[in-house]
């Protein structure tokens, strides 16, 4: 802070301000410290008489399903919950932990309080702070009964003696105690309470969306230090995937019916509109598909009630854009050459040779192979997910039925860019354009 020096009054004023500043700093420090102290208090719930046994474990299994623990805590499908999943961050690489009951590499030696503390406070055994890759920022809302149940269920998980690799976080991000300061700014510890005046169904939905299913961890934008921002469920950026706005405006899910939303959560697919891919495909496959229908309806009821993000009038609907492609006859008559090595390879040739087989020459789809026009990913203003789907494909297994789209990573950056731009122009939001450089970043 610049000040004129020199006058006695100025110096006195400066001294006063300095003392004031110090006082504020100390107060802030004490305030911060108290928040840090408070956040570190594990509220270990106490079991009520009769609360226990098989019923509690069963409830815990349902809580674990809804919280989708297995998705992040498994890297080898034959070793569930044994950890080892990689999370690449700008600050280094994290691996999920082994949460089986193994006493050496898992959580076999954890007390109940240490388990609850990990889940709801982000504080593990021996006060070790967890990175918010573990979404304790959402799980903190978990009710006491659910927390007790989850502990009971975790205690039944077969011990697997598997040690995940060590994290490779760069300094100073490998200093876990520093997470306390991150938590100061980005974490509000505490149980999620029902909102008065809302129905039981709404509250159940709110609890599932905000706490257990932790939808906001993907669907809410983050601030500059990766804490969750305030535009709740208005869309989040996962780098190679974009989690869309799921509030009620046209840019969100305003143009979907309740039944479509329910169907999407339950199966990952809504005919003509949407097909879950990437992380959402996993969420459906591992978690949402297994929830009772009543829970899914509750989540829909809650999502429906979210005010539309931004200015709904100016945001185009993600669905219902684009039209059928009618250029195949003309294309065939010109029998264009397909040179796989050329970055100038035409979009329509590529579309016909690579996409039309399953998606039909017009893009209307066949059987389970989706229709392209009207699709909510092609209708978005952001091209990330279309490009990611082309580069990575789609894989989902729900109710024994497998859905699979191969990857087209064999196409060059320029080819993917040309094809994507065409797909948007023809079948979706015609303003979206994709460059080769953007594709390269998404590989």
By the 8 A CB rule, do 280 and 264 touch? no
Q: How far is the CB of 263 from other proteins (least distance, A)?
A: 17
Site stretch for other proteins (CB under 8 A), options 15-23, 46-54, 263-271, 419-427: 419-427
Burial class of residue 184 (count of CB atoms within 10 Å of its CB; 0-12, 13-18, 19+):
middle
DSSP H helices, 306-397, are 328-333, 347-350, 356-359, 384-392
* Residue 357 interacting with other proteins (CB under 8 A): yes
CB nearer to other proteins: give 163 or 364.
364
Among 354, 370, 378, 416, binds other proteins (CB under 8 A): 354
Site track for other proteins across 51-80, x = CB under 8 A: --------------------xx--------
Q: How far is the CB of 403 from other proteins (least distance, A)?
A: 9
What residues between 12 and 51 interact with other proteins by CB under 8 A? Answer: none
Residue with tokens 């019923």: 55
Cα–Cα distance measured from residue 276 to residue 278, given in angstroms and rounded to the nearest whole number: 7
User: Could you give the count of Cα atoms lying within 13 Å of 401 in the half-sphere of its Cβ?
Assistant: 10
List 92's β-bridge partners, or say none: 89, 169
* Residue 323 interacting with other proteins (CB under 8 A): no
* Residue 227 interacting with other proteins (CB under 8 A): no
By the 8 A CB rule, do 98 and 164 touch? yes
DSSP string, 182-210: HHHHH-------PPTTS-HHHHHHHHIII
* Residue 418 interacting with other proteins (CB under 8 A): yes
CB nearer to other proteins: give 162 or 435.
435
CB nearer to other proteins: give 44 or 85.
85
Could you count the other beta carbons within 10 Å of the beta carbon of residue 368?
A: 13
Q: Give the rounded distance of the alpha carbon of 149 from its chain centre.
A: 24
What residues between 186 and 215 interact with other proteins by CB under 8 A? Answer: none
* Residue 218 interacting with other proteins (CB under 8 A): yes
By the 8 A CB rule, do 191 and 141 touch? yes
Site stretch for other proteins (CB under 8 A), options 8-16, 97-105, 144-152, 340-348: 340-348
122 dihedral zone (left: phi>0; alpha: psi -120 to 50; beta): left
Residues binding other proteins: number (CB under 8 A): 85
Residue with tokens 């240490």: 114
What residues between 373 and 402 interact with other proteins by CB under 8 A? Answer: 381-384, 388, 392-393, 395, 402
CB nearer to other proteins: give 35 or 169.
169
Site track for other proteins across 78-97, x = CB under 8 A: -------xxxxxxx------
Residues 6+ apart with CB under 8 A from 16: none
Site stretch for other proteins (CB under 8 A), options 2-10, 42-50, 260-268, 323-331: 323-331
């Amino acid at each position: 802070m610049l000040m004129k020096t020199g006058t006695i009054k100025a110096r006195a004023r400066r001294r006063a301000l300095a003392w004031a500043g110090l006082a504020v700093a100390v107060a802030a420090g004490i305030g911060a410290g108290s928040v840090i102290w408070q956040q570190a208090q594990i509220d270990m719930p106490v079991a009520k008489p009769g609360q226990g046994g098989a019923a509690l474990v069963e409830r815990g299994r349902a809580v674990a399903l809804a919280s989708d623990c297995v998705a992040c805590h498994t890297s080898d499908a034959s070793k569930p919950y044994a950890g080892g999943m990689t999370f690449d961050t700008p600050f280094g690489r994290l691996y999920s932990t082994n949460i089986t009951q193994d006493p050496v590499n898992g959580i076999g030696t954890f007390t109940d309080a240490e388990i609850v503390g990990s889940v709801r406070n982000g504080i593990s055994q021996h006060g070790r702070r967890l990175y918010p890759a573990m979404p304790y920022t959402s799980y903190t809302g978990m009710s006491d009964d659910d927390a007790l149940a989850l502990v009971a269920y975790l205690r039944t998980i077969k011990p697997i003696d598997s040690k995940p690799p060590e994290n490779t976080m760069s300094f100073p991000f490998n200093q876990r105690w520093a997470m306390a300061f991150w938590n100061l700014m980005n974490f509000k510890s505490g149980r999620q309470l029902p909102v008065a005046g809302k129905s039981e169904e709404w509250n159940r939905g709110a609890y599932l969306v905000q706490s257990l299913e932790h939808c906001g961890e993907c669907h809410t934008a983050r601030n500059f230090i990766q804490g969750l921002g305030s535009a709740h469920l208005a869309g989040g950026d996962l780098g190679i995937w974009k989690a869309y706005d799921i509030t009620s405006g046209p840019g969100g899910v305003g143009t979907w019916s309740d039944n479509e939303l329910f169907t999407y959560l339950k199966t990952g697919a809504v005919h003509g509109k949407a097909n879950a891919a990437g992380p959402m495909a996993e969420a459906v496959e591992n978690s949402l598909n297994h929830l009772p229908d009543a829970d899914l309806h509750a989540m829909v009821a809650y999502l429906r009630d979210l005010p539309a993000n931004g200015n709904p009038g100016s945001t185009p609907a993600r669905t219902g854009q684009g039209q059928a492609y009618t250029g195949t006859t003309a294309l065939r008559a010109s029998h264009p050459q397909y040179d796989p090595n050329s970055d100038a390879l035409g979009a329509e040739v590529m579309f016909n040779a690579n996409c039309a087989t399953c998606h039909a020459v017009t893009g209307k789809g066949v059987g389970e192979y989706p229709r392209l026009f009207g699709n909510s990913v092609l209708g978005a203003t952001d091209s990330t997910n279309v490009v990611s789907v082309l580069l990575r494909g789609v894989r989902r297994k729900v109710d024994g039925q497998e859905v699979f789209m191969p990857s087209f990573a064999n196409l060059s950056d320029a080819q993917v860019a040309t094809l994507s731009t065409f797909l948007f122009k023809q079948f979706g939001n015609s303003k979206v354009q994709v460059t080769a450089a953007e594709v390269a970043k998404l590989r």
